[in-house]
Structure 1
Amino acid sequence: MKSPIGKHLAGLAAIATLAAVLAPLPAVAQTKGGTLFAVVQPEPPLLVLGLNQQSPTQYVGGKIYESLLTYSQDLKPMPSLAKSWKVSDDGLTYTFDLQSGVTWHDGKPFTAADVVFSVDKFLRETHPRVRVVINKYLESVTAPNDLKVVFKLKEKFAPFLSLFGADNMTVMPKHIYEGTDFKSNPANQHPIGTGPFMFKEWKKGSNITLVRNPNYWKKGLPYLDGIVFQVIPDAASRALAFEKGDVQVLRGGDIDYVDVKRLQALPNVENTNQGAEMFSPMTSLVMNERKPPFNNIKVRQAVMHALNRKFIVDNIFFGIGKVATGPISSSTMFYDSNVPVYDFNLKKARALIKESGVDLAATPIKLLSYPYGSAWDRLGEYTRQSLEQIGFKVEIESADAGSWASRVANFDFDLTFHFTDQFGDPAIGVSRLFLSSNIVKGSPFVNNEGYSNPKVDELLNKASSANTPAERQKLYSQAQYILVDEVANGYLFEIKNVSFFRKNVKNLITSGIGLNASFDKVYIEK
């Protein structure tokens, strides 16, 4: 059993008191001013983090919105809108003291009432990860005064402090959203947060512009005048824009994987695969298990044997990844490699189809494409060809980011891909994909496949509140075995993306949330 537990878990659930203060700014002089040019792809459907958690929304929205905490590269909680916090001895009460003098981008004061509204009203309704925790574990969230918030849990939830990133416990403005239809509120077109950058304009199909928040609560920050996120649909054009200096930052996945080595050789360019510690993204093939043919376990097992996942990593993604063994990333707590193995074996795949009794010719399927670039298009075509070799009839349907999200959220698909973040603990990033209680419409990142197993529900729920790492490991190991054996999702590979930036861009990646961070201390060296 392989389980990298130690450094992440210690201190989150067992500590009695945790208080922190903001670290002082570096003594060296920073360069203030300038505009950072980056790429956002695909173009996000909207920027409101409380409503949408797709990768492009996280990237842009993470500069606009904040939460109570952020996280270091070793995933320890750090202050954000909360300046300090403490946990009761029994692990059921979490008290946060908030920063003073914080205002929303429209000038209204930020208070504890915004936090209570965001958690108890907004996110309880809208957020695919957070609402699972809120509905099961949260007894109450109250504001004793304007600068204090108290969370009381019904039962222990071991990774509770890992839940307070901006893309999870997004703090939304109560005065804008209270009493409205959250999803149709006009403010969704002009997002208002507390972050270091404010929304200026969105030229659809061209760019999204953010400008410095002149009243940001961290005095002297941000350094940048603004950020422009260019919308460049073509991967080759994105690579060219970076080479020419038209953009200074590329996220992992912004360019075709075939171009990675060439860009790594450019002068005055740096690259890193750091900054994904909180996410450890996992790519899966999602099969709609509500109807034939994927409601049959043997068919799903056949699919896994029909796909050469090493070929996918080595040739479609040019080695930038690692073959997955199950739903939990090998870099995440409670990973266990002792699960069923699906080798590439067409003979075994065809035998499983025969055993299933399913007539694949009578159940043609549609593969909903994943709108994240040419590598994903190639993955779709490879999957189509592989499945047709064992008797499937497959048609590929194209989709942009918005239509993909809408269709998957409404279970309107046969087969598709997604990559989902682990968020430092399987209770936050993994369980949401498999709990039968999370088969709910409205988000593409819940149990969209319709998988349901009461035993798995029991194991995942117990693991989230177990008292010791050893207990949690035992429960998660059992759950992983079942999830892999039954192919709850088709686990393909762990993403190991490479981000690029010009050498004069400083402080770009300084935390475990990488490029999704606020960029408050990013500056351009003159």
Structure 2
Amino acid sequence: MRNPTPTSRRRFLGLTGLAAASSVLLGPRRARAQATPGAPPRMRAPEPSPRRGGTLKTAFGVTTPHFDIHQGATTAVLCHLYNGLVTYNLGDGIKTVIPDLAARWTVSRDGKTYAFELRDGVRFHDGTPFSSADVLASFQRIVNPPPGIVSQNRELFNVVREMDAPDARTFRIMLKEPRVYFLQLLAEPSTIVYSKKALDDNQGDLRKVIAPGTGPFVFKEHKQAEKWVLARNPSYWDPELPYLDGLELLHVAAWTDRGTAVLTGQADMSWNVSIETFQEGEKRKDLVSGKKLPNFGAYAVLLNCKRKPLDDGRVRRAIHLAVSRQDLIKAFQTQEPIDNTRWVPHGDRYALPAEEILKLPGYRADKSQDIPAARKLLADAGYADKGRVLDLLVASVAPHAEILAPAFQEQLKRTLGIEAKIRVAERAVLVQEQQSGNYDLVIDTPGHLLSDVVPLANVYFKTGGSRNWTGFADPRFDRLLAQVDGEADPGRRGKLIRELEDLLDQEPPWYMVGYTFHLPMWRNRVKGLGLDQRERALWGRLDTAWLAG
């Protein structure tokens, strides 16, 4: 990298040869680029005259396996210490992507080059000045991690062709192909920038150290399985933020206990509470507020496509048709709300509305046509081994092992005459068994960062995908997926995604139960986060939070 030189806005545009955009409007359920005239937007509370001071107390599970977000540490705990290049705007209910460490950015007309003009005067918590070298080092570790480093989002960045830092205030990313969701990926709370000095001092591995960030809060105290205490960063690059004096992140593992903590005032907010405490909160609108939000995690039964009889797509299609999603969702309703969805998460602009989904074979409540069709598929596939018992693997989590697994087992037996034996395993063992292919059926909770189905499909369904543990392999699907991934036109992309879902319904690698909802709840004095404006769940930053009264 050349010696750092100042970069003016005019030189920046000349260097990149691109048109400027300072925000991305997510709009209804999805991102679309839109140039914004005038000064780039700043993160601010939506209410006028936010009150300063006080400590916000949260209640959720705040344990973390280590401290390195890029390697899988708990983002909802550690993200408050850091910034990304861009971020979701808390002030409008995370509907737009706005500048963070990048003061502004540009995107080439072919959608392949992103150039970021970085802020001046930013320092890490240890006083180290921030520059493009930190951004380059962070993204190099994400895209091409050194030996011994696990980059949890590496596969999402496989589209990156090249990165550079022409000077101290400029960072560029060049893609192999355009990706309509790329800015959303950069805005995710886990896509943070670390200090190059911290990376160098720790041989690229930050699992054992709480590395200094540039974020609105600084680390103060950590008591394992009890709490984290963070304090306001007095030298934050945005002098207006944060409004709070600090955060106290309380470790509350049980959903019911989280809701109780909010209802009793022991905590100010929780990202996800139990159904019963959420319902209690709806009766106490004088004290608390809440909102049911689509989440990008799902419940599914993974089908081993390499083992008989599930190696035959007709058998998998039969299960898709015959087992009642409505019955499974009802059985699980006391634990977590599950929506009637297909393969695209609810909350995405390309998701088929629930009323349309419920008209489709397999998804509709009326099984009078689906069960006979499923039994014919089994007969056509030659499945007559009534003596064989399938292995149904499930994690040793009570709701999974004691509610969902028995309900699915009963449905298989009653509708198709398929016997399954439930095998309960610790979560770590369950993952090992999946990776080795030692199962017939496994109940899992797959999820992904973005609403776009393509990143999930590349990981779970594409031939050779890093988590394609079912062994699903279909050249037609791979070709169609590549088409969708490279298509930027919304109309054509929507049509291709519908074809992708139709293909997955025909020979499904999973029995998709449905995507879930999260139930955030907060005391009425919590302001600044646009929680009531949100259209999907996101456990992340609290820069603009403030406390009334």
TM-score, scaled to structure 2: 0.79
Counterpart amino acid of residue 179 in structure 2: F
- Cα distance in structure 1, aligned partners of 2:200 and 2:279: 49
Q: Which residue matches 1:248? A: 268
Tell whether 2:165 aligns with 1:153.
no
Tell whether 2:325 aligns with 1:303.
no
Q: Which residue matches 1:111? A: 131
Tell whether 2:307 aligns with 1:284.
no
CA contact (8 A) 1:34 1:524 kept: yes
SS across alignment from 1:476: helix
Gaps of 5+ in 2: 1-25
Counterpart amino acid of residue 529 in structure 2: L
Q: 1:305 to 1:195 in 2, by over 3 A?
A: same
SS across alignment from 1:416: strand
SS across alignment from 1:436: coil
Of 255, 262, 282, which residue of structure 1 is paired with 2:280?
262
Deviations 1:426-467 (A, max 9, x none): 334544332224x22xxxxx4343322222122122222224
- Cα distance in structure 2, aligned partners of 1:216 and 1:396: 52
Of 280, 283, 290, which residue of structure 2 is paired with 1:271?
290
Tell whether 2:262 aligns with 1:237.
no
Q: 1:433 to 1:47 in 2, by over 3 A?
A: farther
CA contact (8 A) 1:50 1:167 kept: no
- Cα distance in structure 2, aligned partners of 1:404 and 1:179: 36
Counterpart amino acid of residue 63 in structure 1: H
CA contact (8 A) 2:44 2:544 kept: no
Q: 1:85 Cα deviation (Å)?
A: 0.7
Tell whether 2:197 aligns with 1:175.
yes
Counterpart amino acid of residue 447 in structure 2: T
Tell whether 2:106 aligns with 1:86.
yes
Tell whether 2:89 aligns with 1:68.
no
Deviations 1:302-352 (A, max 9, x none): 43345321233345226944211x211343133356896215566665655
Deviations 1:155-181 (A, max 9, x none): 322332222123453323332335967
SS across alignment from 1:395: strand
More off after superposition, 73-82 vs 172-181: 172-181
Q: 1:17 Cα deviation (Å)?
A: 9.9
Tell whether 2:507 aligns with 1:486.
yes
Q: 1:258 to 1:98 in 2, by over 3 A?
A: same
Question: 5 Å matches for 1:368-383?
Answer: 368-369=394-395, 374=399, 378-383=403-408
SS across alignment from 1:175: helix
- Cα distance in structure 1, aligned partners of 2:256 and 2:32: 45
Counterpart amino acid of residue 272 in structure 1: K
CA contact (8 A) 1:287 1:489 kept: yes
SS across alignment from 2:110: coil
CA contact (8 A) 1:332 1:422 kept: no
Tell whether 2:473 aligns with 1:473.
no
Q: Which residue matches 2:547? A: 524
Q: 1:84 Cα deviation (Å)?
A: 0.5
Counterpart amino acid of residue 121 in structure 1: R
Q: Which residue matches 1:443? A: none
Q: 1:415 Cα deviation (Å)?
A: 0.5
SS across alignment from 2:71: coil
More off after superposition, 216-225 vs 494-503: 216-225
Q: 1:353 to 1:169 in 2, by over 3 A?
A: same
SS across alignment from 2:179: coil
Of 57, 75, 78, which residue of structure 2 is paired with 1:37?
57
Question: 5 Å matches for 1:371-520?
Answer: 374=399, 378-389=403-414, 390-399=417-426, 414-421=441-448, 423-437=450-464, 439-440=465-466, 446-509=467-530, 515-520=538-543
Deviations 1:64-109 (A, max 9, x none): 3331112344743211121101112232221111122223333323
- Cα distance in structure 2, aligned partners of 1:328 and 1:312: 19
- Cα distance in structure 2, aligned partners of 1:334 and 1:114: 36
Q: 1:94 to 1:263 in 2, by over 3 A?
A: same
Q: 1:368 to 1:360 in 2, by over 3 A?
A: farther
- Cα distance in structure 2, aligned partners of 1:147 and 1:412: 51
Q: 1:138 to 1:231 in 2, by over 3 A?
A: same
More off after superposition, 40-49 vs 473-482: 40-49
Q: Which residue matches 1:140? A: 162
SS across alignment from 2:230: strand
CA contact (8 A) 1:60 1:516 kept: no
Alignment: residue pair count: 500
Q: 1:335 to 1:235 in 2, by over 3 A?
A: closer
Deviations 1:263-282 (A, max 9, x none): 211231111235x5xx5444
Counterpart amino acid of residue 38 in structure 1: T
CA contact (8 A) 2:391 2:421 kept: yes
Deviations 1:330-377 (A, max 9, x none): 431333568962155666656555535374754542422275x74785
Of 44, 47, 52, which residue of structure 1 is paired with 2:72?
52
Gaps of 5+ in 1: 441-445
- Cα distance in structure 2, aligned partners of 1:377 and 1:214: 50
Counterpart amino acid of residue 357 in structure 1: Y
SS across alignment from 2:69: coil
CA contact (8 A) 2:300 2:445 kept: yes
Q: 1:25 to 1:271 in 2, by over 3 A?
A: closer
- Cα distance in structure 1, aligned partners of 2:282 and 2:157: 43
- Cα distance in structure 1, aligned partners of 2:371 and 2:50: 58
CA contact (8 A) 1:505 1:525 kept: yes
Q: 1:154 to 1:412 in 2, by over 3 A?
A: same
SS across alignment from 2:84: coil
Deviations 1:387-430 (A, max 9, x none): 45433332242535x67667667767651221424624333454
SS across alignment from 1:100: coil
Q: 1:36 to 1:287 in 2, by over 3 A?
A: farther
Counterpart amino acid of residue 283 in structure 2: A
Of 191, 210, 214, which residue of structure 1 is paired with 2:234?
214
- Cα distance in structure 2, aligned partners of 1:407 and 1:158: 35
Q: 1:221 to 1:322 in 2, by over 3 A?
A: same
Q: Which has the larger radius of gyration?
A: 2
